Amino acid sequence: MLKNTNGSATVHLSRKLLVLAFALALGAAPTVNAQAKTPAPVSQDSTTHALTKPPITFDVISIRKSNAVFPSGDRYTADGYVMRGYRVAWLIAWAYGFSDYDRMPGLPRWCFFDKFDIQAKVDEADVDKWNKLDKQSKSLALQALLASRFNLKAHFETKQGHIYELVVAKGGPKFKAADPKDIISSGIMASVGRSMTLDNFAILLTGIGVSRPIVNKTGLTGLFNLSFRPMPDDDSSDPTAPITEDLILRDIREQLGLDLKPAEGPVSFLVVDHIEQPTAN
């Protein structure tokens, strides 16, 4: 259960695909344009905000309410970042590497329903440097965007809990190293990672219906091209039969040569202390 910061509303979310939350159809919303020069984020004490200063911040950001029924994509571009039709809860999850809304308590209701289009660009002088950053470094720019334009204040809490360790299965991995020039992409039922680290792929796997956070323990480093599609039970004649967690674990082993091993370990929570609708300048 996620509680509104003013205590007036609650949002109940089971542990489901984040993409199911994205697919909620909403009524048309008025358009609000917000475009302004973005100041560098103010340093925050670690007890109130877990933001690490990014190597680059966006110079210009345009934010508007979206009328899209379904999201049409988000990606890093050659000079920034573009998001179309996603909710702020998704943006926070993406920026901070979370794939489970249950581990992001404190978000108000509008974060799960109001959709936005965002276009952010770095300064022209920073374009070359931006293109040399890895995804983790670029995500720091998204965290700065959330702090400066949505006035997000949050902190991390860690508790012991149930996790899965992602390990190499008997027989070895069934995927190949990637060309660093490949892009990262993902689908709803097919999870496809091009030029993706296994750390990031573990985050993606956590978002497809697995009940525990996943930690990469494969020992494999670098970028890989990964392809994974959860399949229904072979004995089921019903094409709409649910894909259970046991089937997902089976398919990860058969398709990728990886295993998810139950374990106990630290589980991170991003506790949202404050967030506002985006500033409009």
The pLDDT value recorded for residue 231 is 75
CB of 117 closer than 8 Å to CB of 88: no
pLDDT of residue 181: 62
Question: Do 147 and 166 reside in the same domain of the chain?
Answer: no
> Is residue 279 in some structural domain?
no
* Same domain flag for 122 and 23: yes
More confident residue, 117 or 6: 117
281 within some domain: no
Give the span between the Cα atoms of 146 and 211, in whole angstroms.
28
Residue 193's pLDDT is 60
pLDDT at 192: 53
Q: Is the pLDDT assigned to residue 212 strictly greater than 80?
A: yes
CA distance 210 to 226: 18
Q: Which residues pair with 115 in a beta bridge?
A: 87
pLDDT tens per residue across span 6-45: 333 333 333 333 333 322 222 222 223 333 333 333 223 3
Q: Do residue 93 and residue 141 come from a single domain?
A: yes
Same domain for 152 and 31: yes
As for how many domains the chain has, the answer is 2
- Enter the DSSP assignment of 7: S
Quote the pLDDT of residue 280: 74
Between the CA of residue 30 and those of 33, 65, 73, 278, what are the distances in Å? 10, 7, 21, 14
**199 and 63 co-located in one domain:** no
C-alpha distance from residue 159 to each of 72, 147, 162, 234, 274 (Å): 35, 25, 10, 38, 21
Verify that 146 and 12 share a domain, yes or no: yes
Domain that holds residue 56: 2-157+270-274
| Torsional class of 88: left (φ above 0), alpha (ψ -120 to 50), beta (otherwise) | alpha
Task: Kindly give, in sequence order, each residue whose CB lies less than 8 Å from that of residue 204, ignoring residues fewer than 6 positions away.
Answer: 99, 186, 191, 193, 196
Dihedral sign from CA coordinates of 136, 228, 184, 154: negative
Residue 156: band (very low, low, confident or very high) from pLDDT cuts 50, 70, 90: very high
- Let me know whether 96 and 122 are in one domain: yes
Question: Do 177 and 222 contact (CB within 8 A), yes or no?
Answer: yes
Residue 46: predicted pLDDT: 30
Same domain, 233 and 147: no
> Does residue 280 belong to any structural domain of this protein?
no
More confident residue, 257 or 8: 257
For residue 239, pLDDT over 80 is answered with no
Share of residues in the chain with pLDDT > 70 (%): 71
Check residues 210 and 175 and name the one with the higher pLDDT. 175
Mean pLDDT for all residues in the chain:
76
- Whether 171 maps to a domain, the answer reads yes
**Residue 138 located in a structural domain:** yes
Q: Are residues 168 and 129 in the same domain?
A: no
- 131 is a domain residue: yes
Q: What is the SS3 assignment for 209-261?
A: CCCCCEEECCCCCCCEEEEECCCCCCCCCCCCCCCCHHHHHHHHHHHHCEEEE
Residue 13 maps to a domain? yes
Out of 1-10, 109-118, 232-241, the most confident range is 109-118
Span 241-255, average pLDDT: 84
Give the separation between CA 43 and CA 27, rounded to whole angstroms. 38
Per-residue pLDDT, 8: 31
pLDDT tens, position by position, 38-91: 333 322 333 333 456 789 999 999 999 998 888 888 899 999 999 999 999 999
Which residue in this structure is represented by tokens 């404190």?
Answer: 106
In a domain, residue 215? The reply is yes
**Across 125-149, average pLDDT:** 93
169 plus 150 within the same structural domain: no
Examine the domain organization and report whether 152 and 14 are in the same domain.
Answer: yes
Q: Which residue did the predictor score with more confidence, 239 or 99? A: 99
Same domain, 153 and 49: yes
